[in-house]
């Protein structure tokens, strides 16, 4: 089970995630309470082992700016978390994660989007993602997409991650608010989440 810890803002939080077994570390470059500067993300990224994939999260950003930030930070993956058309993804020489808010109307042609992973997230709240709410996991099971390309997100916590994996059978899971206490990354929750996700048979 792949695990992405998102909204990382400190070297210590990144180190705990890596030690616990995270596969991806996500940096948010879009407006959010977890937004980070490219300079700070690059500094954290330089401390990560080579096998950890660095993901940059963008919302309706220009291709030019995404490529500039990706180069500065040393990103491995670009996550499109807005309303980006397929033509944007096709211009990115990186692995692409495309986020989709799970409601029936927005998922009609999801299988045709050119991406390496489909990130299934909760419907849009104040921010794109990171709102701490789950969606009806049964909707994810009905989608005609390759399960090996599904990353489940939206309101996942150390307490519900095992049930989520068992029901959706994704390739990976993505967590941000579910590993926080009072808006800051909680090291114990990071460890518990990753341990529970890795020990659940998907």
> Which residue numbers are catalytic?
6, 121
Please state, in angstroms and rounded to a whole number, the distance separating the CA atoms of residues 19 and 100: 29
How many CB atoms neighbour CB 91 within 10 A? 11
Strands 180-181 and 184-185: antiparallel
- Using DSSP's 3-state secondary structure scheme, residue 185 falls into strand
Residue-level length of the chain: 202
Element (H, E) at 65: helix 63-73
């Amino acid at each position: 089970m792949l695990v992405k810890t998102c909204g990382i803002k400190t070297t210590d939080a990144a180190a705990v995630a890596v030690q616990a077994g995270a596969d991806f570390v996500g940096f948010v470059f879009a407006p959010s309470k977890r937004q980070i500067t490219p300079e700070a993300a690059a500094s954290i990224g330089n401390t990560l082992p080579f096998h950890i994939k660095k993901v940059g999260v963008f919302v309706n950003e220009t291709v030019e700016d995404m490529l500039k930030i990706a180069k500065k930070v040393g990103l491995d993956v670009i996550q499109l978390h807005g309303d980006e058309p397929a033509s944007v993804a096709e211009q990115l020489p990186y692995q692409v994660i495309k986020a989709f808010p799970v409601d029936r109307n927005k998922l009609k042609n999801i299988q045709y989007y050119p991406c390496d992973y489909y990130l299934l997230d909760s419907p849009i709240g104040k921010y794109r993602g990171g709102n701490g709410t789950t969606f009806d996991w049964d909707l994810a099971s009905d989608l005609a997409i390759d399960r090996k390309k599904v990353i489940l997100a939206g309101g996942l916590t150390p307490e519900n991650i095992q049930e989520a994996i068992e029901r959706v059978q994704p390739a990976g899971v993505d967590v941000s608010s579910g590993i926080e206490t009072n808006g800051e990354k909680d090291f114990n929750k990071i460890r518990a989440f990753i341990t529970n996700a890795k020990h659940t048979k998907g």
